[in-house]
């Protein structure tokens, strides 16, 4: 359903703002001249209510004047009521941020005054300001403030306003597309209005209930409530109410594909719009007709009605733009006058103070001269002291710098000596490692040669000698397989290459002990032949071992093994 019901503040009017000339003179002199502050407050508040809709610019000006008078009375109730009227004026101008700020100021003072009725009305006004927002969070705030309004009205026991609060809450749920909650609160409003016999307001509840039922898919029940609303609107000749109800009927019959009745209510809506004479209502009527013709696939008429709808929308937009310009001009003129008044007050205040200032200037000048002399004396003494302190500080800094240089030199010499000792130690360990590796290589070569010689001698010897030679050969092989030399080699190697084996184990945990030996020999730059002598295996076996090692190290074919191992 397209139609939305908002009770209490349903406004159907066009603003007609004109810049006011000499507003303060007109209302202050002719209306409140010679009156007490309280009487002035009541008169201006009465005038504000007289200009509710016909001249919003003037209403805003009077609201600001009311703020000024309330400040002079200086009671929380008067200040709170003035801020309420200011917030209401800003809301009517569409200045919602300023309206909210003014209403919260009103609440602050009215709560101090413990004015339950006006606090309730302020809650309602804040709820109305938030209801026009497209923001879901603001709609939730609107519900919160309408509920606060409801709580206070229940304390006040004003049944009609309680029903109005229910209706407003239901309307916000309608905006939020929550048909169940909208139906719940609209029903509560209806029961209360029926209970107190307020027949003029009950059709609003009927319309809200019908709209909620329609949105819930219960079209037949919705129709019953539409008929109830229609009877009362006709009874009191409420053209605006009937105009909105036509929209409900239109969508009701459109949903049932009863195009004849849908057309009747769309044309009825146009008839009432012409009677009301408002551009807004004519725009809505042509929109309904455009939808109708589009549904029956009469696209020519649909286009013509939509074209009329668009023309009226553009007209409203232009009117709104001109209205905003007029509103802004009125506000600008008012602010300009207020600034001029404040300027005159300030100038008067300055003139009154000028004489007193002249009397004080000479004494002040003498005090200033005396202070200047004292300050100059203090500055001179401070400069002399500072110069002496800086000289002493400079001398101490130089002494400290010299000491620091001596200490730095000593530390540097110690560091160089320590570095030299470490280099000497490392060089010695490197020589030990190299020497041990060469000894292992020579020893293995010697034992291999001996093993060969024993084999040759064995061929030409007696059985007894052969037995002794085999025993000797076994001792040679056992010596070749001894790990003592490798343990000593490993110790020397780790002292020179600290962390090498640890890094190798972390990066390649799947390596064997022979792989570690081969990596150490590669690290020492030994070629295949030298490595074969140290490992006591053939050069071909070394080549095979190197090939397997490259695969375990995940090396590419073009990578150099020696360079790879050196970088570990």
Nearest Cα residue to 118 out of 166, 152, 89, 69: 152
281/23 Cα distance (integer angstroms): 35
What's the predicted TM-score (pTM) here? 0.52
Please tell me the predicted confidence (pLDDT) of residue 321: 47
Question: Phi/psi at 511 (nearest 5 deg)?
Answer: -80, 145
* pLDDT(250) > 50: yes
Please tell me the predicted confidence (pLDDT) of residue 467: 75
Give exposure, 221-230, as e/b (b: 16+ Cβ within 10 Å): ebbebbebbb
Are 314 and 286 spatial neighbours (Cβ–Cβ below 8 Å)?
no
Secondary structure string (H, E, C) spanning 230-271: HHHHHHCCCHHHHHHHHHHHHHHHHHCCCHHHHHHHHHHHHH
Please tell me the predicted confidence (pLDDT) of residue 415: 76
Output the CA torsion sign for 239, 240, 241, 243. positive
pLDDT tens by residue, 361-384 = 888 888 888 889 999 889 989 898
Are 8 and 164 spatial neighbours (Cβ–Cβ below 8 Å)?
yes
* pLDDT(275) > 50: yes
102/126 Cα distance (integer angstroms): 10
90/93 Cα distance (integer angstroms): 5
CA dihedral defined by 361, 363, 368, 370, rounded to 10 degrees?
Answer: 160
Average pLDDT taken over every residue of the chain: 82
How many other C-beta atoms lie within 10 A of the C-beta of residue 300? Answer: 8
pLDDT tens by residue, 382-421 = 898 888 888 888 888 888 888 888 888 888 878 777 777 7
234/231 Cα distance (integer angstroms): 5
- Segment among 186-190, 443-447, 547-551 with least mean pLDDT: 443-447
* pLDDT(27) > 60: no
How many other C-beta atoms lie within 10 A of the C-beta of residue 274? Answer: 12
Residue ranges per domain, the chain?
A: 238-341, 499-568
Q: What is the DSSP letter of 529?
A: H
Q: 1 vs 516, which has greater pLDDT?
A: 516
* Three-state SS at 535: helix
Specify the CATH class of 238-341 in words. mainly alpha
Q: Which of 140-144, 316-320, 500-504 has the highest mean pLDDT?
A: 140-144
Are 496 and 429 spatial neighbours (Cβ–Cβ below 8 Å)?
yes
* pLDDT(481) > 70: no
Could you tell me how many residues make up the chain? 568
* pLDDT(319) > 80: no
Kindly state the tokens that stand for 308.
């009329």
* pLDDT(336) > 60: no
CATH of the domain spanning 499-568: 1.10.10.10
Kindly state the tokens that stand for 98.
């300023």
Kindly state the tokens that stand for 531.
């490595």
* pLDDT(431) > 60: yes
Please tell me the predicted confidence (pLDDT) of residue 6: 40
CA within 13 Å, CB half, 366 = 4
């Amino acid at each position: 359903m397209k139609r939305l019901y908002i009770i209490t503040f349903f406004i159907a009017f066009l603003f007609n703002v004109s810049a006011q000339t000499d507003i303060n003179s007109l209302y202050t002199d002719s209306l409140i001249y010679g009156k007490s502050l309280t009487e002035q407050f009541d008169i201006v508040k009465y005038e504000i209510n007289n200009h509710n809709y016909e001249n919003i610019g003037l209403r805003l000006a009077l609201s600001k004047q009311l703020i000024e008078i309330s400040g002079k009375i200086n009671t929380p109730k008067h200040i709170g009521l003035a801020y309420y009227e200011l917030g209401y004026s800003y809301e009517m101008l569409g200045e919602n941020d300023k309206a909210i700020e003014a209403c919260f100021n009103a609440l602050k003072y009215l709560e101090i005054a413990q004015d339950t009725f006006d606090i309730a009305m302020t809650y309602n006004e804040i709820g109305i300001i938030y209801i026009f927002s497209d923001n879901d969070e603001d709609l939730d705030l609107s519900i919160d403030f309408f509920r606060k309004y409801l709580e206070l009205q229940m304390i006040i026991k004003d049944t009609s306003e309680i029903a109005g609060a229910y209706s407003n809450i239901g309307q916000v749920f309608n905006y939020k597309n929550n048909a169940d909650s909208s139906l719940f609160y609209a029903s509560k409003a209806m029961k209360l209005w029926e209970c107190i016999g307020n027949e003029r307001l009950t059709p609003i509840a009927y319309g809200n209930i019908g709209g909620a039922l329609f949105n819930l898919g219960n079209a037949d029940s919705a129709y019953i409530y539409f008929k109830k609303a229609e009877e009362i609107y006709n009874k009191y000749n409420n053209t605006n109410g009937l105009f909105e109800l036509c929209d409900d009927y239109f969508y009701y019959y459109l949903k049932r594909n009863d195009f004849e009745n849908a057309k009747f209510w769309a044309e009825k809506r146009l008839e009432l719009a012409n009677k009301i004479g408002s551009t807004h209502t004519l725009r809505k009527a042509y929109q309904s007709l455009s939808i109708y013709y589009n549904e029956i696939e009469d696209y020519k008429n649909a286009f013509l009605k939509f074209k009329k709808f668009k023309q009226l929308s553009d007209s409203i937009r232009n009117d709104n733009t001109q209205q905003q310009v007029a509103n802004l001009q009125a506000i600008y003129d008012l602010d300009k006058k207020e600034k001029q008044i404040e300027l005159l007050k300030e100038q008067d205040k300055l003139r009154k103070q000028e004489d007193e200032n002249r009397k004080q200037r000479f004494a002040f000048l003498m005090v200033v001269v005396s202070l200047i002399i004292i300050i100059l004396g203090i500055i001179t003494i401070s400069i002399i002291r500072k110069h002496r302190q800086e000289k002493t500080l400079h001398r101490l800094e130089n002494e400290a710098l010299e000491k620091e240089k001596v200490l730095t030199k000593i530390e540097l010499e110690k560091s160089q000596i320590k570095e030299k000792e470490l280099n000497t130690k490392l060089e010695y360990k490197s020589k030990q490692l190299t020497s041990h590796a060469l000894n292992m290589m020579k020893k293995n070569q010697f034992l291999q040669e001996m093993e060969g010689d024993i084999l040759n001698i064995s061929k030409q010897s007696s059985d007894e000698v052969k037995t002794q030679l085999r025993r000797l050969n076994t001792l040679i092989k056992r010596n070749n397989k001894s790990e003592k030399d490798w343990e000593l080699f490993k110790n020397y190697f780790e002292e020179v290459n600290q962390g090498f084996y640890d890094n190798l184990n972390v990066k390649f945990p799947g390596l064997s002990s022979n792989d570690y030996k081969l990596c150490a020999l590669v690290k020492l730059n030994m070629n295949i032949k030298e490595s074969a002598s140290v490992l006591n295996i053939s050069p071909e076996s070394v080549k095979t071992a190197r090939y397997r090692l490259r695969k375990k190290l995940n090396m590419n074919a073009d990578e150099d093994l020696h360079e790879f191992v050196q970088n570990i």
